[in-house]
Amino acid sequence: MAQYLLKRLGMTVAVVLLVTLFLAGVVHLIPGDPVELLLGPRATDEMIANAREEMGLDDPIVVQVASFVWNAAQGDLGRDFATQRPVSMLVSNATFHTMSLAFLSLLLSVGLGIPLGVLAATKPDSLLDRTTSVISVSFITMPSYVTGLFLLLLFPIALGVLPATGAGDPSEPLNYLRHLILPASALAITWIGYFARLVRTSMLEVVGSNYIRVARAYGLRETVVNYRYALKNAVIPSIAILGVALGNLLGGSVFVELIFARPGLGNLALNAIDARNFPVLRGSILVIALLFVVANLLADLSYRFIDPRIRVEEQQT
């Protein structure tokens, strides 16, 4: 296990380094001069030249890339071109809102998708199974931005029961949670359907196993057999994709944050693209990539810890 952990950590570091190198160079392919956008059309050539020198944009691209990688390794993501505030401060504030949205979405996906899949698997080919299958497939094919627009029109505008935009006040948990409900639901819809289908398929495979037949032969109640024994093994594939799900939710939060005007990493990155604000753009995307890599690492490790068969195979080899 220790050898595997070191191997995975080494791969994680390599991925992060490659992502950092990619981000350092790819922003220079975006058309437009950030200095001209920042200073406006009335700026003189001398003002533009001085600003480019202060921002380090006159240095060769190789020097700029090396500087960004070296500083990022020390936690310095540069300064915002417009406000001269540290990018790390802007990114940390936005990360809180994005992570809150992604984690609540993941909680909804797991908390609703898994029970929905179990219900379908306990009554195969029944009306309940067919209904849940139609619901889950519909959820999978529904983009988060379409769901977000629908929820925005339904609840805040038609019913007037939930806030339409903004993130609320983090110092007031109930207020902040009310602002999270709609965007988190819009983001979670697809994964609720995905987890439901995955758990249903896994449950149907598990309930045909010998140890489930033995448990039923001992006279255990069906609920105990399903939820204590069958679900324990059927949920393992779902745990394996938690990291992928969290990464997908982080990426999908870009559209949801725009629809609901949330000040998260996605909104920050898109605003930085409009302003050609390279430091903010690199910093926000780098943090999203880091969160995705860490989430996959934790999901992979937890998967190996929960499923003893993997550890037995490692010992045998």
The confidence band for 312, taking pLDDT boundaries of 50, 70 and 90, is very low
Q: Which of 228, 240, 241 minimizes the C-alpha distance to 310?
A: 240
- What the block records as the tokens of 27 is 């922003």
Contact 230, 203 (CB under 8 A): yes
DSSP 8-class letter at 75? T
| Structure confidence at residue 310 (pLDDT) | 54
Compute the mean pLDDT over every residue in the chain, rounded to the nearest whole number.
80
Give the span between the Cα atoms of 269 and 258, in whole angstroms: 11
Say yes or no: 130 and 254 in one domain.
yes
* Contacts of 78 by beta carbon, 8 Å cutoff, 6+ apart: 68, 71, 86, 87, 279, 282, 283
Judge whether residue 279 has pLDDT over 70.
yes
Task: Print the domain residue range for 237.
Answer: 94-316
> Residue 29 class from Cβ within 10 Å (0-12 exposed, 13-18 middle, 19+ buried)?
exposed
Say yes or no: 198 and 246 in one domain.
yes
Say yes or no: 101 and 56 in one domain.
no
Say yes or no: 171 and 103 in one domain.
yes
Instruction: Give domain status of residue 79, yes or no.
Output: no
Say yes or no: 192 and 239 in one domain.
yes
| Structure confidence at residue 104 (pLDDT) | 92
Identity of the residue numbered 305: F
- What the block records as the tokens of 167 is 């993130």
Say yes or no: 145 and 210 in one domain.
yes
Among 73, 106, 133, identify where a domain stops. Answer: 73
pLDDT in tens, 209-226: 787 788 778 777 877 777
- What the block records as the tokens of 207 is 């309930």
Judge whether residue 300 has pLDDT over 60.
yes
* Contacts of 291 by beta carbon, 8 Å cutoff, 6+ apart: 95, 99, 246, 247, 250
Instruction: Give domain status of residue 81, yes or no.
Output: no
Mean of the pLDDT values across residues 131-155? 87
Residue 221: which CATH number? 1.10.3720.10
Give the span between the Cα atoms of 275 and 314, in whole angstroms: 51
> What predicted TM-score, i.e. pTM, was given to this entire model?
0.79
Give the span between the Cα atoms of 188 and 218, in whole angstroms: 39
Using alpha carbons, list the distances in angstroms from residue 109 to 186, 187, 270, 302. 11, 9, 26, 18
pLDDT in tens, 242-277: 777 877 787 778 788 888 888 888 888 888 877 777
Say yes or no: 50 and 193 in one domain.
no
pLDDT in tens, 70-95: 887 788 888 887 777 888 888 888 88
Dihedral sign computed on CA atoms, order 311, 312, 313, 317: positive
Domain count, the chain: 2
Say yes or no: 145 and 216 in one domain.
yes
Judge whether residue 284 has pLDDT over 60.
yes
DSSP 8-class letter at 27? G
